[in-house]
Amino acid sequence: MAAICDKRKFVAVENEEILPNAKRVKADIDQNQETAEGDFEPESVLCGFQTREVLKHSAREKNIFIHGQIDGQDAVVILETNPIQENSLGELFSGSTLKLEMKNDIYSTYQLQAPPHLNEIKTTLVWPATKKHVNKFKHQESFLVEETKEDYSTITLPYILLKRGLNVQWVYNILEKKEEVDRIVYEDPDPNLGFVLLPDMKWDQKNVDTLYLIAIVHQRDLKSLRDLTSEHIPLLLNIFNKGQVAILDRYKLPANKLRVYLHYQPSYYHLHVHFTKLDYDPPGCSVERAHLLANVIQNLHNDPEYYKTWTMYFPLRESDELLGKFKKAGRL
C-alpha cells in the first residue's frame, strides 16, 4: 500500500450504498466521536495503512475495496482506475513508453507506461470506519423486500427515526454552507421549493461521460419517497427543471441525455435526487431501487397519497440492520 502514498487524492466520504458505489459515501461517524480531520496530512495518510482483508474487487469495474487500519482505527480504502479521457490522448501517446508482450503478424500487445499524472488512481477513504461501513463494502447476498403501508409504519419508520440523526449531519453542513461550498453547482435558496445541486463523491468532475450530481432539498422534514404527496409536486418540478438547466449551462448536457431519479430505500434519510448521464450506469440505477422523478411526479398527480399507501419493493443486503428487522417481524 505504500506505493499509493504519492500523488493520491484523499477524499472524505459519506455513508452511502454508493459504491462499488459509489450515491455519495460519507463517514457515518457518531456525533460524539471525534473525527480525524486536522490530525494528519492528506497526502501521506495512506502510508500507515495496514491491510487486513480485501472486501471486494472487480476486474470489470477496475476497482478494489480494502479493509485495514490507520493508527489503530479501522479504515476502508477504495481504489478505482480513472477512465481514459479523450482530451488526454495526444499526451498519452506522445509521452508514454511501450513494453512489448506479444507480436504475431499484424497483432501485438504491450504494457503502456503512461506519464504519472495520466496514471493516477482515484482513492476513497472511510476513516474511522465502523463495522457497518466494512460490511457495506463487502460482497454480500441481496434480498428483495416487500414493504406495505403497515410495514413502513411499524418496521421502517421507527428504524429511520432511530438512525436518521446519526447520518445526515453532513447534509446539514452542506445546506448551512459549513462544508463543500466550493463544490455547489447551483442553489435555489427557497426554504420550501429550494435545493442545492453538487457533484456526487463518486464523480471525478472531469469526465462528463460519468456525470453524477445530487440535488439536496432544503426542507428537513422529507426523509424519502414515502413522505411525498401531491403538495410536493411544485418542489419536485422545481428540482427537475432547474437542475436540468443548471447541468446544461455548466456541462452542456441537454435534458434528454440525463437520468433523474430517487432511490428507495435511500442510503441516507434526507430527500435528495440523483442526476446522471443517461448512458452511464452507476450503482443503484437498477429498476428495483431507482424511481424516475418524472414518473414520481406523474404518480402523485394521479394519486396524491401514492407513496404513502402503495406497497414498495427494494433490495437489502444480508448485513443490513433493516433487513434484520423485517426478518424479526416475520416479513421475510
Domain locations in the chain as residue ranges: 1-82+122-139, 83-119, 140-328
pTM value is 0.67
Q: Does domain 1-82+122-139 have CATH number 3.30.200?
A: yes
Q: pLDDT tens digits for 237-295?
A: 999 999 999 999 999 999 999 999 999 999 899 999 999 999 998 888 999 999 999 99
Q: Choose from 2-11, 20-29, 249-258 the range with maximum mean pLDDT.
A: 249-258
CATH code for the domain defined by 140-328: 3.30.428.10
Please pick, among 218, 232, 263, 272, the residue that the annotation labels catalytic: 272
DSSP lists the bridge partners of residue 112 as 98
Across the range 185-207, mean pLDDT stands at 94
Quote the pLDDT of residue 40: 54
Q: Is 263 one of the catalytic residues?
A: no
Contact, 18 vs 25, CB < 8 A?
A: yes
Of 23-32, 52-61, 119-128, 292-301, the range with the lowest mean pLDDT is 23-32
Look at 3 and 148; give whichever has higher pLDDT. 148
